Amino acid sequence: MSGQVVVVGGGLAGAKTVEGLRERGYDGGIVLLGTETERPYERPPLSKGYLQGSDERDGAFVHPADWYGAHDVDLRLGTTVRSIDLGARDVVDGSGTRTGWDHLVLATGSEPRRLDVPGAGLDGVVHLRTLDDSDRLRALLRPGTRVVVVGGGWIGLEVTAAARAAGCEVSVLVRDPLPLLAVLGPELAAMFADLHRENGVDLRTRTEISEIVAAGDGTHVGAVELADGTLIDADLVVVGIGAAPRVDLAKAAGLHVEDGVVVDAHLRSSNPHVLAVGDIARAHHPFLGTHLRVEHWANALNQPATAAATVVGADEPYDKLPYFFTDQFDLGMEYVGYVGSHGYDEVVVRGDLQGRELIAFWRREGRVLAAMNVNVWDVVDDVQALIRSRAVIDHDRLADPDVPLAELL
């Protein structure tokens, strides 16, 4: 319970790790190193309530400004770690300062993928990852602004909903036949396509971009050119084509990196004194029986408790099922579970798919792998119980809204 823990990464995962350590009674030194100048904050508001103007900026922060000092956490903002020395057990930051550790927790998160087309560096081509990004984007979303969103994932669609709420004209460009196809499959992805089109979004699928074209001034975006030569006028281009885990530090240090930092169920890397949490952690999941990297908020929120337990010597593996949520227009949704590489046999819908008030269950061999509740609430605990039971459940009972979920087991 003594020594020093250094946490690299000043986001939600890093902040919850230092909180977890103090809650566990760890009384050694704690240093939290963050590249940004803002104290740790949560990211969901950046594309949801804060971007839409319904949430206050201060609501995004994980802790009040005085929390870190009150809990004896050495919070160093605006500090970028350049290297990790496993032998000396220290990290070196951009100023050359060495900070020693007995345990090191990597919470470096992920970064937006960039478009690789001519014009991608023009003014008006933006990404959404930081609070500053959200501030800038919020200021740009004005009635009549012509916005092109590249990518039909969660970030892209949430930004689209915020832009439409602000009165912007929005086109969404998606490579696949449907947005969210890889995540939800065709049965449910179509629901999101319909939702956006009904709300005035120009959704274009099976679309490739060849160039972002400059306006007359030569420096600012003026249009997006598609592979077929079509030009879409644009004042603003929002790129939401996914994110990549920030693993360069871990890789350079010699840790096992393969689609993230590979860790065990206790979040220990190939060096047992180095842990990884959040977006970068490819963790062994005891229930699912596989290594899994999840980039959603719930992992950054919950994995740090396991990391703190591991540091203080408690045996508490991380086995929470993957969870994420979204809010778009009048649709609110929660998803829990994991379909996995073997895929699914069918999707069973309980409720009104056309009215977008339902629970959808992804099944394989009669067992529920994952489920999504849309505008239906307070069911996640029951859904998790269905998944964890691994029980074969009758199709008709699963689809029947009059049969309580708790009675299916």
Report which secondary-structure segment, H or E, holds 385. Answer: helix 380-389
Q: Which residues pair with 130 in a beta bridge?
A: none
Dist CA 300 CA 324 (whole Å): 11
255 found inside a domain: yes
Q: Indicate the residue among 239, 268, 300 that finishes a domain.
A: 239
Integer distance in angstroms from the first to the last C-alpha of the chain?
A: 43
Residues 205, 63: one domain? no
List CB contacts of 291: < 8 A, sequence separation 6 or more: 262, 282, 283, 284, 285
Per residue, the 3-state secondary structure of 27-89, as one string, reads CCEEEEECCCCCCCECCHHHHCHHHHCCCCHHHHECCCCCHHHHCCEEEECCCCEEEEECCCC
Q: Indicate the residue among 239, 269, 296 that finishes a domain.
A: 239
* 173-192 per-position pLDDT tens digit: 999 999 999 999 999 999 99
List CB contacts of 100: < 8 A, sequence separation 6 or more: 4, 6, 88, 89, 90
Residue 1: pLDDT band (50, 70, 90) is low
Residues 27, 136: one domain? no
Residues 339, 233: one domain? no
Residues 106, 249: one domain? yes
Distances (CA, A) of 261 to 34, 68, 255, 312, 343: 19, 27, 7, 21, 25
Question: What is the reported pLDDT for 27?
Answer: 96
Residue 182 burial by CB count (10 A; 0-12/13-18/19+): exposed, middle or buried?
exposed
Residues 150, 54: one domain? no
* 94-151 per-position pLDDT tens digit: 999 999 999 999 999 999 999 999 999 999 999 999 999 999 999 999 999 999 999 9
Amino acid, single-letter form, for residue 409: L
Mean pLDDT, rounded, for 83-93: 97
Mean pLDDT estimate for the chain: 97
320 found inside a domain: no
Residues 223, 250: one domain? no
Residue 90 burial by CB count (10 A; 0-12/13-18/19+): exposed, middle or buried?
middle
Structural domain total, the chain:
3
Q: Which residues pair with 90 in a beta bridge?
A: 85, 100
Residues 135, 205: one domain? yes
> The CATH number of the domain where 373 resides is what?
3.30.390.30
324 found inside a domain: no
259 Rama sector, left if φ>0, alpha if ψ -120 to 50, beta otherwise: left
Residues 107, 249: one domain? yes
Q: What is the pTM of this model?
A: 0.95
27 found inside a domain: yes
Whether the per-residue pLDDT at 2 is higher than 80: the answer is no
Mean pLDDT, rounded, for 1-22: 95
Residues 192, 152: one domain? yes
Residues 404, 357: one domain? yes
Q: What are phi and psi of 31, to 5 degrees?
A: -120, 130
Residues 366, 296: one domain? no
Dist CA 306 CA 9 (whole Å): 17
Percent of the chain with pLDDT over 70: 100
- Report whether 324 contacts 374 (CB < 8 A): no
Q: The tokens of 103 are what?
A: 């345990």
Count CB-CB contacts under 10 A for residue 21.
Answer: 27
323 found inside a domain: no
Domain that holds residue 362: 330-408
317 found inside a domain: no
Dist CA 347 CA 361 (whole Å): 5
Residues 343, 291: one domain? no
Question: What is the reported pLDDT for 341?
Answer: 86
Q: Indicate the residue among 254, 277, 311 that finishes a domain.
A: 311
Mean pLDDT, rounded, for 190-208: 97
Percent of the chain with pLDDT over 90: 97
178 found inside a domain: yes
> The CATH number of the domain where 162 resides is what?
3.50.50.60
396 found inside a domain: yes
Helices (H) and strands (E) in the chain, counts: 11, 26
> What DSSP string runs through 208-252?
-EEEEEE-TTSSBEEEEEETTS-EEE-SEEEE-S-EEE--HHHHH
